[in-house]
Amino acid sequence: MARPNPNIRETQPVIRQLDEAAVNRIAAGEVVERPASAVKELVENAIDAGATRITVEYSDGGKTLIRVTDDGCGMTPDDLVLALSRHATSKIDGTDLLDIHTFGFRGEALPSLGAVGRLTISSRAAGHDGAEIAVNGGQVIPVRPAALNGGTVVTLRDLFFATPARLKFLRTDRAEAQAIGDVIKRLAMAEPFVQFVLRDVSGDGAGREVFRATAEQGEMFDALHGRLAQVLGREFADNSLPIDANREGLHLTGFAALPTYSRGSAVMQYLFVNGRPVRDKLLVGALRGAYFDFLSRDRHPAAALFLDCDPTLVDVNVHPAKSEVRFRDPGLARGLIVSALRHALAEAGHRASTTVAGATLGAMHPEPTGARVYQMDRPSQGARTAAYDAQSPGFAETAGMWGRVETPADEVVQSGETAPDYPLGTARGQVHENYIIAQTATGMVIVDQHAAHERLVYEKLKNQMSENGVSAQALLIPEIVELSANDCARLLELAVELGRLGLGIEAFGGSAIAVRETPAILGTVNARAMILDILDELADHNDSNIVQAKIEAILSRIACHGSIRSGRWMRGEEMNALLREMEATPHSGQCNHGRPTYVELKLADIERLFGRT
């Protein structure tokens, strides 16, 4: 039985003008997705008003109550009436939508919130009396006097009571509360000179403080570092690298973590454009591209990056929530992020994150002790040398009792000598034919000889490739790959870049391309599959590292086979040469897969393991 076409009607459809309440509810569906969206809009309004202290209170995950209090410039009674009108704002005059210097500019947030909840705004501007206005499900209650010292208090109750179907799509109170916390933390990172307080007032009583970030002082860079320590934790601040780079009107600042401080997911990636938190594919892809040579695919970098530029170079009016941006020159923005991060990682040299040592110490379980034993002060260097000399004859006589001990060559500093102050210390010995033990001025270092040398060989191979280029092998019969017109045009835009990596492509008429050369180091290649993989990555990240990743994977495999193997006994001069080369080689703190190549333990931590406090 044929089904009737629902698009065919017997009567002519009538075009109607929607009333103001319906328009506001539709707008609210775009702007206010969940309680966290309402918090974001209200806190951004407070920041735009020049607030230095912002307090956010919520109840039941923001479903029943959201209250935002600030000490900003406030509003007059006449302003309060206009604030609830659609597209009424003090932030732009409408002449240039590309010259935007504030978070908000559309004038939709307050009327949208008033259309789907019970909204009350109390405010007082300098030189005016306090006033209050309310709107419940689109019904405005006239302005009335209110007692207020200054600033603004916005109270939103019963969110989505006017659109009950929307309530069914909200998650649990805990999940909504976590989303609110994430919004506040992102905004707090962007405004280090503003104090933020987040409080859960569910139930009776004053509630509990969930998050607090006190206002920072001093220079912008120092203030940002302090704020990131408050929001992301001291570990991130201690294991991150400062970023400060400029290129053609773009200024990138922030902090990026060392590769050994990576994460299992992308939860610690915070990106800002002109102070606005964004989730942008281009920027995320650039961050991933900067680290792709240092981390395995299941690890993700941690970073908080702030990209500032003239507002005319970026369009923020491409998404209702303003969470996406569009750059006039996206390649310039991506190139700045990649080059700045790679330069900072190279400057870090052999440095590894402090969490590596913490994890090592956490894996050690010293025997439980009774009463604390207070040790004598550590003897001087001369006293230790004399003691060692006195003990050596006895040691020689009893050495046979304990078995043979392999000693390194003369280049290894003997126990009584003073070790030179090298960052990775001086080799003392080798255990299990795989781990080098070195003594530093403040502790000891344990080096994985195979992982460390693998990274050194890999860096040499990469340098040789960058100097000499990638050799290409010509195909006897070019492989023709049929694509859509868009995919073909997109791929041909990268033809020059792919050619530098040994993949030669050219147009073959219509929407087909011809693959004439492939990288020689890859051997036999399925050219069609590689082309499709490149297109998939372009669709996901607006950028592709497939060819380079495959080439560097081969180089990594060569480095693995060409490096010092586990189980090989090394002479003293070899161990020390490896340590010195690590100190001089960028990225030597982690292997080709992002794992640490060495662990540094401070003497104080070692003594604590043995109860020497």
Q: Is the pLDDT of residue 395 over 50?
A: no
Q: Is the pLDDT of residue 496 over 90?
A: no
Identify the CA nearest to 181 among candidates 194, 198, 193, 159. 198
Sign (positive or negative) of CA dihedral 60, 62, 63, 66: positive
pLDDT of residue 595: 79
Residue position matching structure tokens 């894996």: 363
Identify the CA nearest to 63 among candidates 34, 29, 31. 34
Count of Cβ atoms closer than 10 Å to residue 380 Cβ:
9
pLDDT of residue 378: 53
pLDDT of residue 209: 93
Q: Which residues are CB-neighbours of 415 under 8 A, at least 6 positions away?
A: 388, 428
pLDDT of residue 465: 76
The β-bridge partners of 243 are 254
Least confident stretch, 95-109, 349-363, 435-449? 95-109
For each of the domains in the chain, give its residue range(s) and CATH number, in order of start. 20-213 (3.30.565.10), 220-348 (3.30.230.10), 413-613 (3.30.1540.20)
pLDDT of residue 568: 82
Tens digits of residue pLDDT in 137-174: 888 888 999 988 899 999 999 998 877 878 888 899 99
Residue position matching structure tokens 């206002």: 215
**CA geometry: angle at 602 spanning 600 and 605, to 5°?**
120
Tens digits of residue pLDDT in 236-251: 988 899 999 999 999 9
CA dihedral 291, 294, 296, 300 (to 10 degrees): -40
Rounded percentage of the chain residues whose pLDDT exceeds 90: 25
Mean pLDDT throughout 397-417?
Answer: 43
Tens digits of residue pLDDT in 446-474: 898 888 888 888 888 778 777 777 788 88
Token pair listed for 261: 């401080």
**pLDDT band with cut points at 50, 70 and 90 for residue 302:** very high
Question: Reduced to 3 states, what is the DSSP secondary structure of residue 242?
Answer: strand
Least confident stretch, 46-60, 212-226, 548-562, 565-579? 548-562
Classify residue 567 by burial, with Cβ atoms within 10 Å: 0-12, 13-18, 19+: exposed
Residue 470 CA from chain centroid, whole number: 32
- Mean residue pLDDT of the chain comes to 80
Q: DSSP 3-state helix, strand, coil percentages of the chain (rounded to 5)?
A: 40, 20, 40
Query: What are the CA-CA distances from residue 65 to residues 158, 169, 200, 294 (Å)?
Result: 6, 18, 10, 45
Token pair listed for 240: 């991150």
CA distance 610 to 42: 54
Token pair listed for 354: 């402090």
pLDDT of residue 100: 63
Mean pLDDT throughout 227-233?
Answer: 93
Least confident stretch, 203-207, 247-251, 324-328? 203-207
CA distance 381 to 392: 17
CA distance 131 to 357: 58
pLDDT of residue 35: 93
Sign (positive or negative) of CA dihedral 289, 290, 294, 298: negative
Mean pLDDT throughout 350-376?
Answer: 59
pLDDT of residue 407: 47
Which helix (DSSP H) or strand (DSSP E) does residue 398 occupy? helix 381-402
Mean pLDDT throughout 520-535?
Answer: 81
CA distance 435 to 305: 37
Question: Reduced to 3 states, what is the DSSP secondary structure of residue 273?
Answer: strand
Q: Which residues are CB-neighbours of 242 under 8 A, at least 6 positions away?
A: 221, 225, 254, 255, 344
Token pair listed for 415: 């126990």
Identify the CA nearest to 119 among candidates 109, 105, 129, 134. 134
Q: Is the pLDDT of residue 305 over 90?
A: yes
pLDDT of residue 405: 42
Q: Are 120 and 154 in contact (CB under 8 A)?
A: yes
What are the backbone dihedrals phi and psi of residue 272, each rounded to the nearest 5 degrees, phi first? -135, 140
**pLDDT band with cut points at 50, 70 and 90 for residue 292:** confident
Tens digits of residue pLDDT in 248-281: 999 999 999 988 888 888 889 999 999 889 888 8
Higher-pLDDT residue of 471 and 222 is: 222
Residue position matching structure tokens 């860079």: 221
Q: Is the pLDDT of residue 82 over 90?
A: no
Q: Is the pLDDT of residue 495 over 80?
A: yes
Q: Are 80 and 143 in contact (CB under 8 A)?
A: yes
Q: Is the pLDDT of residue 399 over 50?
A: no
Mean pLDDT throughout 496-500?
Answer: 81
Count of Cβ atoms closer than 10 Å to residue 535 Cβ:
20
pLDDT of residue 397: 43
CA distance 527 to 549: 15
Q: Are 268 and 299 in contact (CB under 8 A)?
A: no
Which helix (DSSP H) or strand (DSSP E) does residue 465 occupy? helix 449-468
Spell out the long-range contacts of 108-112 with Cβ–Cβ below 8 A and sequence spacing 24 or more.
108/27, 108/31, 109/31, 109/32, 109/41, 109/42, 109/45, 110/45, 110/83, 110/84, 111/24, 111/27, 111/84, 111/85, 111/86, 111/135, 112/24, 112/25, 112/27, 112/28, 112/31, 112/32
